[in-house]
C-alpha cells in the first residue's frame, strides 16, 4: 500500500499498562488488529493473533515484533466464517498463552457494491459470518476461560451510524455488532467481565484497497472528515489498550468513536 499504513511498528511506545495479560486479537496481521496486537505486547501482554491463512508472512512479522518485546506470540491462521474454527482458535489461544483475559475482535469483511442487486447471497452470508456470527461463536467458546476482570472489545464502525450507500451489507453488520456488544455487556456484567465497542471512521487499512471502497474514491479517502484525512491504525491502538486495561474498570456497554471528527449519531 502507498503510503504504508502506520500500525505502530516504530511509533507506538508502551507504558506497562497490561503486564502479564493474555490477549487474543482477530485480524492481527494487518490494519487495526495489527496495531492492537503490537500495542498489547508493548504494554506487557502475551498475544495470540488470528488471520486469514493467505496472510502468513504478515502475521510472522507481527509475531517477531511481539517477541522482540519479550512477550509470547501465538499464530492461529484460519477463517472466522467457520464455527468449529472459532472454537478451536479460542482453545488454542487459551492453551498456548496459559490463560486468556482479553478478546480484541477486530477482523472484518468489507466489500463495496454500488447496488443491492450486486450483493450476492454468498457475499451477504460471508460478511455476516465473519463480522457477526464469529463474535457469537468466539465469545461463547471463550467465556468458560475468562476470569473476573477480563475484557471483550468488539469493532463496529461509523458505518453503523452513517452508512454509505455502497456498503449496505457491511454497515448492517456493524449495527448488529453494537447491539450484540451492549446486550452481552449487560448479560455478563455479574461475572465481572466488561464489553465495549470501538467504532472507527475512515482508517487507512488493506480493507480499503482490496475492494472495501470504490477505487476511484481512494485518492480522497478520509478527506471529508473535520480533520481532513484518514486515520492511521496506530491511532486506534490507545483505545484498544484503554479498554483492555483496568483503567476502564467502570466502563462497559459503551461505544468509542475514533472518527476524525465525524459524529456517531
pLDDT tens digits, residue range 5-17? 999 999 999 999 9
Burial label for 201, CB within 10 Å (0-12, 13-18, 19+), is buried
Ranking 7-16, 213-222, 248-257 by mean pLDDT, the lowest is: 213-222
Task: Give the mean model confidence (pLDDT) for residues 233-247.
Answer: 98
Residue 170 annotated as catalytic: yes
Question: d(Cα 169, Cα 123) in Å, to the nearest integer?
Answer: 9
| 252 confidence band (pLDDT: 50, 70, 90) | very high
pLDDT tens digits, residue range 121-174? 999 999 999 999 999 999 999 999 999 999 999 999 999 999 999 999 999 999
Q: CATH classification of 22-257, choosing from 3.40.640.10, 3.40.50.10860, 3.40.50.720, 3.40.50.920?
A: 3.40.50.720
154 forms beta bridges with 105, 197
CA angle 47, 62, 195 (to 5 degrees): 40
Question: d(Cα 259, Cα 265) in Å, to the nearest integer?
Answer: 12
Say whether pLDDT at 219 is over 90: no
Query: Mean pLDDT, the chain, as a whole number?
Result: 96
CB 17 within 8 A of CB 43: yes
More confident residue, 159 or 222: 159
Question: d(Cα 131, Cα 145) in Å, to the nearest integer?
Answer: 22
| 206 confidence band (pLDDT: 50, 70, 90) | confident
Task: Give the mean model confidence (pLDDT) for residues 243-255.
Answer: 98
CA angle 77, 168, 215 (to 5 degrees): 75
**Long-range contacts of the stretch 91-97 (C-beta < 8 A, 24+):** 91/141, 92/48, 93/22, 93/24, 93/48, 94/142, 94/145, 96/48, 96/72, 97/22, 97/23, 97/24, 97/46, 97/48, 97/72
* pLDDT more than 90, % of the chain: 92
Say whether pLDDT at 211 is over 80: no
Residue 248 DSSP SS3: helix
Say whether pLDDT at 218 is over 90: no
| 265 confidence band (pLDDT: 50, 70, 90) | confident
Task: Give the mean model confidence (pLDDT) for residues 168-189.
Answer: 98
Say whether pLDDT at 2 is over 90: no
51, 94, 170, 240: which is the annotated catalytic residue? Answer: 170
Which pLDDT value is given to residue 216? 79
Amino acid at each position: 500500500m502507498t503510503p504504508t499504513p502506520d500500525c505502530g511498528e516504530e511509533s507506538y511506545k508502551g507504558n506497562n499498562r497490561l503486564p502479564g495479560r493474555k490477549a487474543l486479537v482477530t485480524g492481527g496481521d494487518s490494519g487495526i488488529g495489527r496495531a492492537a496486537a503490537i500495542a498489547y505486547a508493548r504494554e506487557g501482554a502475551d498475544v495470540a493473533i488470528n488471520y486469514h491463512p493467505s496472510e502468513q508472512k504478515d502475521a510472522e512479522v507481527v509475531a517477531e515484533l511481539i517477541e522482540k518485546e519479550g512477550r509470547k506470540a501465538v499464530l492461529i491462521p484460519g477463517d472466522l466464517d467457520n464455527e468449529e474454527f472459532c472454537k478451536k482458535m479460542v482453545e488454542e489461544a487459551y492453551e498456548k498463552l496459559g490463560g486468556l483475559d482479553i478478546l480484541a475482535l477486530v477482523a472484518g469483511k468489507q466489500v463495496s457494491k454500488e447496488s443491492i442487486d450486486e450483493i450476492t447471497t454468498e457475499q451477504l452470508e460471508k460478511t455476516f459470518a465473519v463480522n457477526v456470527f464469529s463474535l457469537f461463536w468466539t465469545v461463547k467458546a471463550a467465556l468458560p476461560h475468562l476470569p473476573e476482570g477480563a475484557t471483550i472489545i468488539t469493532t463496529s464502525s461509523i458505518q453503523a451510524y452513517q452508512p454509505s450507500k455502497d456498503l449496505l451489507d457491511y454497515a448492517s453488520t456493524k449495527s448488529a455488532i453494537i447491539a450484540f456488544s451492549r446486550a452481552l455487556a449487560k448479560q455478563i456484567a455479574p461475572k465481572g467481565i466488561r464489553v465495549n465497542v470501538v467504532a472507527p471512521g475512515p482508517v487507512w487499512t488493506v480493507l480499503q484497497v482490496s475492494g472495501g471502497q470504490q477505487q476511484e474514491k481512494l485518492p480522497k479517502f478520509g478527506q471529508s472528515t473535520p480533520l481532513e484525512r484518514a486515520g492511521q491504525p496506530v491511532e486506534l491502538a490507545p483505545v484498544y489498550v484503554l479498554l483492555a486495561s483496568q483503567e476502564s474498570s467502570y466502563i462497559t456497554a459503551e461505544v468509542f468513536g475514533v472518527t476524525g471528527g465525524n459524529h456517531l449519531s
